[in-house]
Each structure stands twice: as structure tokens, then as C-alpha cells.
Amino acid sequence: MEAGKKRGHDMMIIDHQKCVLVIEKNHPHVYYKGKEVTGVNAVIPRIGASVTFYGAAVVRQFEQMKVFSAVESQALVRSRDKLRCLQLLAKAGLDMPKTAFASSPKDIDNVLQQVGGAPAVIKLLEGTQGIGVILAETYNSAKSVIEAFLGVEVNILVQEFIAEAKGADIRAFVVDGQIVGAMKRQGVEGDFRSNLHRGGKATVINLSKEEKSTAIKAVKKLGLAIAGVDMLQSKRGPLVMEVNSSPGLEGIEGATGEDIAGKIIEYIERNEFHEAHT
């Protein structure tokens, strides 16, 4: 919002959960706090993972109203489905920690075998900010955790543990096909999760050529114009963990000193100008 105002735009924050969508022939519109939302040129979706379904519907409604969206609704949905996201990235030839997915407790031994046994990382499909990510250090503890989740019908991914990453990952922030900032996040002592919300520390990092091309390719494959690509540094090169379609700005701006919010506004200006003249 600050970056937009600085560049002379009228900005407003709308809580997408408080929007009412009216769907009718030739006149889709959005109501917010009892008033119709009009005169909007562009929207910047910042949708929490737990409300993806409704948030994406609101973004889609604005798209139908011919309003430019900085994050396309379909790409948002695609990136939020962690399993689908990994399937698409694997198909595109991008490397990632070996991942297994199963819905039957009878398959646990095979699942663990496929990811190289213990230690193994177990992730809730719906988890965010490091919540619902467990490192099971022994085969028996991995088996118990997987059994517990599958027993209550919770969808999980089981991934190989990349020991050489040493509790750190890197995030490349991509805007409009360009990397505009990158940071290394190191987890607190004794915690292999590097999320800043969990107390991790961020420092600026220069990405290798392979890390840059991996991040840009991942974002392109998912159709996202703005994203944070989380990667692990491994012996076999960068491994994509996740592509975040509503990445936080504070951590990466603080670590890099870059005006990333400003770069997002500039991206919208370029597209708004283009759309207004086509």
C-alpha cells in the first residue's frame, strides 16, 4: 500500500472474506461492506492459505470484471495444491526432495522406503509457515506419525530429508520473470524448519546460475507473475520445496534492502498501461 501511494496511486485494502460476489449475466460485480466496488484498475491478491477457495473466487470475479490481477486466480489455486504443484514441477524437469503420497496406512513401509527411510520429513498438505512439518528421525517414529495422520484422514506428503541443507533454505523472490531479491533463511538451533515465523534468521544471498534458472522456471511453469520460490541447497543442486503465491515482503525486504513492493507496483503499471492501450 505504501509503495503504491508513493507512486501516486489510490490504494485500498479489501478483506476478501467480507466480499459478496454477485454473479449475473453480463454484469459480474463485488460488494464490500454493503457498497459496490467500482473504479478498480488492478488487484494485488494477498490470500491466506486457509481461505484459498473463497479468495480465489473473489480474484476470479474481479478478472471477470476485466480488472487486472497481479496473481491470476488459476495460478493461485494451482500453487496452493502442494501435491499438484510438485507434480507440475517434476514434469517440467525441476528437481525436488523425493516425495511420496499415500492414503492407506498399509502403504507406510513402501512410502518410507521410496524416500530413503529415516530421517524423513512429513508435511501436512494444508500446512503453512512451517506449521505441520515434522522431522521424524527414526523409522519407528516416522511410521507412528504417518499412521496417526492417515488414521484421522489427514493428507500428508512424506519427503526425503536433505541433511546437507543444515536447517537452511533459500527463497528467491520473482516478479514478472525477474529475480528481485533472494535470502537464505536459517532455522533456530535444534529446529530444521527455517521459517521466519518460527524464529529463523534471514540474510542476503547471491544465487548461483542454476538456482536462478530453477526459480524462474518454477514460477513460469505455475503461471505466477509474483512468487517466492523456496529451495534447498543439496549435493545434487537446488531442490524446489514450495512456490508461494502470497509471499511475505517484510523478511526479504529487511534482508536484501530491496524495494520489492515497489517492483510489484511497477509490474502492475506496465500491465495496466499495456491493457489500456490494447
Domain boundary among 161, 193, 209: 161
What is the domain-level CATH number for residue 193?
3.30.470.20
Secondary structure class of 15 (helix, strand, coil):
coil
Instruction: Calculate what percentage of the chain has a pLDDT beyond 70.
Output: 91
Mean pLDDT over 241-263 rounds to 91
Q: Are 88 and 221 in contact (CB under 8 A)?
A: yes
Residue 265, pLDDT score: 96
Whether residue 199 is predicted with pLDDT greater than 80 in this model: the reply is no
pLDDT of residue 193 exceeding 60, the answer is: no
pLDDT tens digits along 70-129: 999 999 998 888 889 999 999 999 999 999 987 777 788 989 999 999 999 998 877 555
Same domain, 172 and 256: yes
Mean pLDDT for 21-38 is: 93
Task: Give me the mean pLDDT over the 164-185 stretch.
Answer: 93
Cell of 198: 518460527
Whether residues 156 and 177 share a domain: the answer is no
Q: Are 90 and 64 in contact (CB under 8 A)?
A: no
> At residue 207, does pLDDT exceed 90?
yes
Whether 19 and 58 map to the same domain: the answer is: yes
The pTM score is: 0.87
Instruction: Give pLDDT, residue 198.
Output: 53
pLDDT given for residue 277 in this prediction:
41
Pairing of strands 42-43, 68-69: parallel
Last residue of a domain, one of 131, 161, 191: 161
- Structural domain contains residue 242: yes
| 127-156 as b/e: b if 16+ CB within 10 A | ebebeebbbbeeeebbbebbeebbeeeeeb
What CATH number does the domain containing 64 carry? 3.40.50.20
Domain that holds residue 52: 2-77
Residue 196 is predicted with a pLDDT of 53
Residue with the larger pLDDT of the pair 199 and 42: 42
- Whether residue 84 lies inside any domain: the answer is no
* d(C-alpha 194, C-alpha 168), whole Å: 6
Rounded to an integer, what distance in angstroms lies between the CA atom of residue 180 and that of residue 150?
40
Strand, helix or coil for residue 54: helix
Largest CA distance in the chain: 62
Mean pLDDT across the chain: 89
Q: For a pLDDT cut of 90, what percent of the chain falls above it?
A: 64
| Domain-terminating residue out of 161, 187, 203 | 161
Q: Which 3 state secondary structure label does DSSP give 19?
A: strand
Give the residue from 222, 278, 202 showing the smallest Cα distance to 80.
222
Q: Are residues 115 and 32 in the same domain?
A: no
For the chain, the domain total comes to: 3
Q: Can you tell me the mean pLDDT for 28-43?
A: 94
Residues 6+ apart with CB under 8 A from 166: none
If asked whether residues 170 and 261 sit together in one domain, one would say yes
The dihedrals phi and psi of 211, each to the nearest 5 degrees, come to: -65, -40
Q: Is the peptide bond before 119 cis (omega within 30 degrees of 0)?
A: yes
Same-domain check for residues 149 and 185: no
